[in-house]
Amino acid sequence: MINLVPRKEIPLSLTLTTTAVAVALTLIAGAAIFGVLGYDPLAALYQFFIAPVSRGYQVADLFVKACPLIIIASGLVFSYRANVWNIGAEGQMILGAMFSGYVALYWGGMPAPLLLPAMILAGVLGGLAWAMIPAILKTRFNTNEILVSLMLTYVAVLFIDWTVRGPWRDPMSFGFPLTPMYPDAGMIARV
């Protein structure tokens, strides 16, 4: 019989080695999949890893696209440190963005130095309110927080879709689901 005993201390060399082996095996498996599908594996890996950072504007675009993931990851740190599963972070970000957008659209006339902090505060409170739903259901009724938070993500997507196509639709958008433009004070300059 094999007994598994957790290590009390993991050496740094073992951590670095396992990480390097995992990355290498992932690259090899990815290249093999592209090869089986009939694509040039090296060209595919180039498009994944080198091309996105080969020009200055592409690096800026990469950071713009990474911002939502960074926001979600920094929010998930707290729940995972508390040993709480939170699969609905995307929905919480969507509701936070919606609350922030509400401030920009309907309170956009406030002084410029106050608008961005108000939008950030509204976004945090909106995401927090959406995260409280599975938390309350877990503590009161012992529901599965993984399932509830995941289902609430779909509700958030449908809710923001309804607002953009309904009450927040710009009358000058020619039927497209767009909100009116935010005031300049409610926008952050591009990277």
Q: pLDDT tens digits, residue range 9-56?
A: 889 999 999 999 999 999 999 999 999 999 999 999 999 899 888 887
Q: Give the domain range for residue 15.
A: 11-49
Joined tokens for residue 124:
């945090």
Render pLDDT for 151-183 as a digit per residue (tens, 0 to 9): 999 999 999 999 999 999 999 989 899 999 999
191 within a domain of the structure (yes/no): no
Instruction: Please tell me whether residues 61 and 30 are part of one structural domain.
Output: no
Instruction: Please tell me whether residues 39 and 71 are part of one structural domain.
Output: no
Instruction: Please tell me whether residues 118 and 164 are part of one structural domain.
Output: yes
Instruction: Please tell me whether residues 63 and 30 are part of one structural domain.
Output: no
Instruction: Please tell me whether residues 81 and 97 are part of one structural domain.
Output: yes
Tokens 């093999």 sit on residue: 32
Burial 85-98 (b: 16+ CB within 10 A, else e): bbbbbbbbbbbbbb
What's phi and psi for 88, nearest 5 deg? -95, 25
Q: Domain count of the chain? A: 2
Q: Is the pLDDT score of 107 beyond 60? A: yes
Q: How far is CA 123 from CA 78, 84, 98, 118, in A?
A: 17, 22, 7, 8
Rg for the chain, CA atoms, rounded: 22
5 within a domain of the structure (yes/no): no
128 within a domain of the structure (yes/no): yes
Instruction: Please tell me whether residues 77 and 102 are part of one structural domain.
Output: yes
